[in-house]
Amino acid sequence: MVMTYKNYVNGNWVASDSGKIFSSLNPADESIVGHFQASTRADVRHAIASASTAFSSWRDTPAPSRAKYLWKMRDLLIKNKERLACLIVLEMGKVIAEARGDVQEAIDVFEYMAGEGRRLFGNTTPSELKDKFAMTVRMPVGVVGLITPWNFPIAIPAWKSAAALICGNSIVWKPSSDTPLCAVEFAKLIDEAGFPKGVFNMVTGSGWEIGDEIVRHQMIRGISFTGSRETGEHILRNAGVKKIGLELGGKNAIIILEDADLDLAVDGVVWGAFGTTGQRCTSASRVIVHEKIKSLFEKKLLARVKNLKVGEGIHHDIGPLINLKAVEKSARYVQIGLDEGAKLLFGGKPLNVHGKGFFFQPTIFTDCKSEMRICQDEIFGPVLSIIPVKSFDEAIRVSNSVSYGLSSAIYTADIQKAFRAINKLEAGLTYVNSSTIGSECHLPFGGVKGTGNGMREAGIHGIDEFSEIKTVYFDYSGKLQKATIDD
């Protein structure tokens, strides 16, 4: 029996005013995992009003006291880790090891942000005048709107909500319509953790209706969005004067120089290109390899990829894509690559695993040129392009030739080239002798160029996204003093 789930607003589970529902599918077999509220703008406005009412008392709650709720949430995530991981496999399609990692990221970030309740640092600095004190303090933004994707259905909501909550903000959250059951279970844990009513609200439904209402509503003072560049540009055009954080994808490259440990590099490429079936913003969809070692690298890579098992996520190496559109997009880009003259080394077709499901072969193109669309566009599927180069400098130019700038990696034994790459690669993240995947919760995450608008999540910079800096001057001289005015 398929259950119907409700929105979480003001501490209660409520149905949408629309009376309509939509379904979420298991991408491995296309079975229905649940029915969810097809909410309206009126539902969002109700959630915003609840968050606005709750904000005053939540912001006035001392940050160390707010942290106690985050610690409780962290403990509940630990208790429910395996159950949530299995749910991610069911609804999103990740293999079980990656699904456990998804939940572990949420555990880590709630633990980290709970610790920030004892910090939330500002700064003190000398005044230029006598008997005057100068400092900065952090203030919450207000009611913030979180709009999250399906590929990390527990971790990314945790990144955003933990930082927003410890700073004293209240939340209206619109999760992806591809993983609403994961969102409902996350909200259930928020409820069990005892957060005050209205501090955290979740509304499911269409991005172009309820997401747009969150973006445009005047009582929403901050937006944090992870998703497509098209939607990010829509947010910038329509949000008005708000604090906005955008993370908009990547076209990430792994550089492999002629002195690299090839076995180690192959490990990184397989993980970067085909982990999460290529459905990460940090996935490695390009390999830039020195022509001297290209043939040997391809031989080693093919031997590994041919042994990867594709199927549902509990017992296989690669799971399904999220939906039929993702399969069609990967197939379309395979044809684009062939039309552009790239050589197909392996894969390139949808897979019929059990007669149903959204599976696609791990796919490798070689002899690619950097200007090809398969080397420029974010495909978000298991499609890898190999680009040969003649030198380190050419490798850097090719890596930087895309409009995105999220993650990057280089494999080399030359420490000088490694540090030159760190300096020259146009990316928010650079890994040396490791893949493009592997962010840790205490370090900032985000990119440059078309990847976003300068926002960073996680670490202290996650606090920056959800707080405002207030400058405070305290003059105890007992007379009018005029800064910057000659006496």
Pair (117, 152) in one structural domain: yes
Q: How many CB atoms lie within 10 A of CB 62?
A: 9
Coil vs helix vs strand at 304:
helix
According to the model, what pLDDT value does residue 486 have? 75
Helix (H) or strand (E) holding 69: helix 63-79
For the chain, how are helix, strand and coil distributed in percent, rounded to 5? 40, 25, 40
The phi, psi pair for 114, rounded to 5°, reads -60, -40
Residue 478 within any structural domain of the chain: no
Pair (412, 459) in one structural domain: no
How buried is 13 (Cβ within 10 angstroms: 0-12 exposed, 13-18 middle, 19+ buried)? middle
How buried is 14 (Cβ within 10 angstroms: 0-12 exposed, 13-18 middle, 19+ buried)? middle
Pair (285, 317) in one structural domain: yes
Residue 192 within any structural domain of the chain: yes
Long-range contacts of 211-214 (CB under 8 A, 24+ apart): 211/147, 211/174, 212/238, 213/41, 213/44, 213/45, 214/44, 214/48, 214/145, 214/147, 214/172, 214/174
User: In the structure encoding, which two tokens stand for residue 167, read together?
Assistant: 């700073």
Q: Which residues pair with 255 in a beta bridge?
A: 288, 410
C-alpha 121/C-alpha 116 separation (Å) is 8
CA dist list (Å): 2 to 250, 258, 447, 462: 36, 55, 40, 37
Instruction: Give the strands of the sheet with 429-432, arranged side by side.
Output: 343-346, 363-366, 383-389, 284-290, 252-256, 407-411, 429-432
Pair (67, 98) in one structural domain: yes
Among residues 116, 185, 213, 281, which one is catalytic? 281
Pair (239, 256) in one structural domain: no
According to the model, what pLDDT value does residue 259 have? 97
Pair (304, 217) in one structural domain: no
Among residues 91, 98, 105, 247, which one is catalytic? 247
Pair (122, 231) in one structural domain: yes
Residue 487 within any structural domain of the chain: no
Question: Whole domain around residue 333: which residue ranges?
Answer: 252-432
Specify whether the backbone of 433 is left (phi greater than 0), alpha (psi in -120 to 50) or beta.
Answer: left
Terminal alpha carbon distance of the chain? 81
Pair (96, 164) in one structural domain: yes
Residue 11 within any structural domain of the chain: yes
According to the model, what pLDDT value does residue 487 have? 67
Go through the chain and tell me how many residues it has.
487
Tell how strand 252-256 and strand 284-290 pair up. parallel
* Catalytic-residue membership of 441: no
Pair (128, 32) in one structural domain: yes
Residue 397 within any structural domain of the chain: yes
Pair (330, 356) in one structural domain: yes
Do the Cβ atoms of 185 and 76 come closer than 8 Å? no
Helices (H) then strands (E): counts for the chain:
14, 23
Low-confidence residues in the chain, pLDDT < 70: 487
Pair (99, 148) in one structural domain: yes
Residue closest to 126 by CA, chosen among 486, 483, 485, 487: 483
Coil vs helix vs strand at 440:
coil
Q: Which CATH number goes with the domain that contains 12?
A: 3.40.605.10
* Catalytic-residue membership of 247: yes
Query: Structural domain tally of the chain?
Result: 2
Q: Which CATH number goes with the domain that contains 360?
A: 3.40.309.10
Pair (351, 229) in one structural domain: no
C-alpha 405/C-alpha 252 separation (Å) is 7
